[in-house]
Amino acid sequence: MKELNTDKLRIAIADQEIVRGLTLRVPRGEVHALMGPNGSGKSTLAKVLAGHPDYQVTGGKITMDGEDLLELEPDERARRGLFMAFQYPSEIPGVTIANFLRAALQSRLPEGEELEATDYYAKLYEKMELLGMDRSFTSRAVNEGFSGGEKKRTEILQLAMLEPKYAVLDETDSGLDIDALKTVAHGVNSLRGPNLGILLITHYQRLLNYIVPDHVHVMVAGRIVRSGRKELALELEERGYDWARDGAVEPAFR
């Protein structure tokens, strides 16, 4: 099955359980929004999908196209086709965007094979144009001194360059004004297609006006409490998370 699948996943940090039996399937070609209030465990889920070492998976499974992700190191997961757009991406002082992306693409090639420079730059400039980024950006150090909008655009640029099978976008709308939000949404929408599954993690409904999801899931206290079509996001916006929690039936989804 071509899907990113978490099955009865339980995650703890420092003995405190944050995700408590989460089951979620994102098939390739679909966009799923995961909404939830602060502290619901959304970002923890994102970090664990990416393989962050600080979190402990205490139960359940994560698979990508049937392969056990929990057995893989963060860089192996990425090379197999998982991408994570961070809410707060790290600054890498002194490393230019061009060198950083080149290293990332190089890591996907077999040993001894060199990335073709002309093709690389042609593709880089094409994707930057799509995101309204100036070419001079390539010589700036990764995220260093970037505005919120520049950081998020850089994350989406990486998504466009690395062409993953699944992308997790963690609070990609945070820190964006309306112009930046539209640019980022345009970039994501242009990447949608049968070969990419997207898990869109967000606190607010507003992003979903610009990146319209196929499915919406509501997460509260470490579990999915509701799932539905895109209209669920609007209903949630109107009624609030308390409504979602109170109306929940266990087990939450599927």
Partner 1 sequence: MSLVAHEELKQDAPILSGPAESRDFPDCFRDQQRAAWRQFEILPKPTRKDQAWRFANVGLLDLTPFKFGGALRDDERTAILEQSRGLEDVAGRMIFAGDQLIERDVISDQLKKRGVIFQSLERAMVEHSDLFRRHFMSQPAILGSAKFAALHQALVSSGTFLYVPRGVEVELPIEIFHWLNGENASVFPHLLLVTDELAKVTVIEHFRSVDRCLPGFACGVNDLIAGPGAKVTYVCAQNWGENVVALQMNSTTVDHDASAMSLNLHLGSRYSRFESLSRLMGEGGRSDLLAVSIAKAQQEFDARTLQDHISPHTASDLLYKNALDNRARSIFGGLIRVEPHAHFADAYQKVRNLLLSDDAEANSMPGLEILADNVRCTHGATSGQINEDELFYLRTRGIPVPAAQRLVVAGFLNEVIQRLDHPTIADHLRQTIEDKFANK
Nearer to partner 1, 92 or 248 (CB): 92
Instruction: Choose the stretch contacting partner 1; rule: CB under 8 A; options: 100-108, 182-190, 214-222, 223-231.
Output: 100-108
Stretch 187-206 residues interacting with partner 1 (CB under 8 A)? none
Identify the residue among 86, 146, 166, 253 touching partner 1 (CB under 8 A): 86
* Block residue for tokens 């042609």: 122
- Write out the DSSP string of 43-89: HHHHHHHHT-TT-EEEEEEEEETTEEGGGS-HHHHHHHTEEEE-SSP
Q: How far is the CB of 188 from partner 1 (least distance, A)?
A: 18
Choose, by CB under 8 A, the member of 59, 60, 74, 149 that binds partner 1. Answer: 74
Question: What value, to the nearest 5°, has the Cα angle with vertex 209 and ends 205 and 211?
Answer: 100
Among 21, 36, 41, 51, binds partner 1 (CB under 8 A): 51
43 binds partner 1 (CB under 8 A): no
In whole angstroms, the minimum distance from the beta carbon of 96 to partner 1 comes to: 8
Instruction: Determine the Cα–Cα distance for residues 113 and 26; give it in Å rounded to an integer.
Output: 33
Three-state DSSP state, 183: helix
The single residue among 12, 13, 72, 104 that binds partner 1, judged by CB under 8 A, is 104
Q: How far is CA 231 from the centre of its chain?
A: 21
Scanning 68-76, 125-133, 179-187, 245-253 for contacts with partner 1 by CB under 8 A, the matching segment is: 68-76
Query: Could you say which of 79, 165, 182, 245 contacts partner 1 (CB under 8 A)?
Result: 79
Q: Is the peptide bond before 93 cis (omega within 30 degrees of 0)?
A: no
* CA pair distance 187, 62, nearest whole angstrom: 28
- In the complex, least distance from residue 103 CB atom to partner 1, rounded to whole angstroms: 5
**Token digits of residue 53:** 């070492």
Position 92 contacts partner 1 (CB under 8 A): yes
- What is the three-class DSSP state of 245? helix
215 bridge partner residues: 32
Binding site for partner 1 (CB under 8 A): 50-53, 73-75, 77-79, 83-84, 86, 89-95, 99-100, 103-104, 107-108, 141, 158, 162
